[in-house]
Amino acid sequence: MVTAILNHKVNDYAQWRPYFDADVARRRGFGITGEKVLKSVDEPNHLYIKFEANDPSAIDKLLNDPDLAGKMQEAGVVSKPEFILLEEA
């Protein structure tokens, strides 16, 4: 099992969240599970998203999906996403 933690800023969390929730079927299609969204206490529009997958390539496929950039822009993402890939030690 691998975990990815992605972070980016959005214009408005309340506007962004329905886009994220509506995209669950696409994420499942890549083999992504265990999503959890966290917000910065000091900056509620700075989000951290935890994803899990059995195969590291699933996360790579999700993050490199050509449709993702358009979906993120439409949802109001305003910073370049950064992510880290982790495995249990």
Give the CATH number, domain containing residue 69: 3.30.70.100
The per-residue pLDDT string of the chain (89 residues; one tens digit each, 9 = 90 and over) reads 999 999 999 999 999 999 999 999 999 999 999 899 999 999 999 999 999 999 889 988 988 898 888 999 999 999 999 999 999 89
Domain count, the chain: 1
pLDDT at 7: 96
Domain residue limits at 36: 2-87
pLDDT score, position 32: 94
> What pLDDT is recorded for position 59?
87
Asked if residues 62 and 68 have their Cβ atoms less than 8 Å apart, the reply is yes
Q: Count other Cβ atoms within 10 Å, centred on residue 26.
A: 14
Determine the pLDDT at residue 37.
Answer: 98
CA–CA distances in Å: residue 18 to residues 2, 5, 67: 26, 20, 17
Yes or no: say if 72 and 11 are a contact pair by the CB < 8 Å rule: no
pTM over 0.85: yes
